[in-house]
């Protein structure tokens, strides 16, 4: 006699960058094991790769993983985590005053993507010269690599986010330029010009939640914005 098969519930959510509704199921034990192994490796590329495989399987292969942005990946993972393991999770957060570590419980259902409608992808650097930016995709981020210095990672994120470089006469597609040429362009920027690009990166959408709490040790009121998939595992 064959063992029984369990019915798998199905849910719906939307891809933040496109607003497209997608159907998904909770992930299963074999998939959770894969995710745990990737997490224990502390290799960012391996973790992202495992999340890609997880989302692909749990959305029945309907979602084009290659076209997802990082904040799409984060958000969809949180939705899967919520329906697979539980809607609430707990993280430790240090008080900004006394640095006591507070255990804060929150609902994963409250995690959202801050789609900044005022974020302008066109950045003018000087008269007639500027860049247009884009949200880096999952593969862009994976190509950056995990064993790099913080400076090299930042340069990788900038390359992944640059779409075009333009002058008053020409427009250059960054994908068609060599890494060396793009790096030389970025290195030639002034600190003020470079700051405009960094500001764009800092204001890009992300899966996040606002957590306010009162420190159990000193009573200080804390306000934090929590982002990054590491906090939602």
Cα–Cα dist 64/73, whole Å: 11
How confident is the model at residue 1, as a pLDDT? 65
Contacts of 50 (CB under 8 A, 6+ apart): 34, 35, 37, 38, 39
* pLDDT, tens digit only, all 233 positions of the chain: 677 777 789 999 999 999 999 999 999 999 999 999 988 887 878 888 899 999 999 999 999 998 999 999 999 999 999 999 999 999 999 999 999 999 999 999 999 998 888 899 999 999 889 999 999 988 888 787 667 788 888 888 999 999 999 999 999 999 999 999 999 999 999 999 999 999 999 999 999 999 999 999 999 999 999 987 777 77
How confident is the model at residue 122, as a pLDDT? 97
- Both structure tokens of 176: 């068609």
Cα–Cα dist 63/142, whole Å: 18
Whether residue 207 contacts residue 80, with contact meaning beta carbons closer than 8 Å, is answered with no
3-state secondary structure (DSSP) of residue 35:
helix
How confident is the model at residue 143, as a pLDDT? 80
Phi, psi of 113 (to 5 degrees): -105, 125
């Amino acid at each position: 006699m064959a063992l029984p098969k369990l019915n798998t519930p199905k849910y719906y959510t939307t891809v933040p960058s496109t607003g497209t509704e997608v159907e998904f199921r909770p992930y299963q034990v074999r998939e959770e094991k894969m995710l745990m192994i990737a997490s224990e490796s502390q290799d960012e590329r391996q973790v992202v790769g495992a999340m890609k495989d997880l989302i692909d399987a749990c959305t029945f292969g309907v979602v084009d993983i290659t076209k997802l942005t990082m904040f799409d990946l984060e958000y969809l993972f949180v939705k899967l985590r919520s329906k697979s393991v539980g809607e609430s999770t707990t993280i430790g957060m240090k008080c900004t005053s006394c640095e006591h570590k507070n255990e804060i419980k929150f609902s994963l259902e409250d995690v959202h993507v801050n789609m900044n409608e005022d974020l302008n992808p066109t950045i003018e650097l000087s008269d007639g010269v500027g860049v247009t930016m884009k949200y880096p995709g999952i593969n862009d981020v994976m190509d950056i690599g995990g064993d790099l210095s913080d400076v090299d990672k930042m340069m990788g994120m900038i390359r992944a986010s640059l779409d075009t470089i333009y002058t008053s006469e020409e427009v250059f597609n960054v994908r068609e330029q060599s890494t060396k040429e793009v790096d030389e362009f970025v290195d030639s920027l002034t600190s003020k010009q470079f700051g405009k690009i960094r500001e764009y990166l800092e204001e890009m959408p992300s899966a996040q939640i606002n957590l306010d709490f009162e420190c159990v040790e000193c009573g200080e009121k804390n306000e934090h914005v929590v982002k990054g998939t590491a906090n939602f595992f």
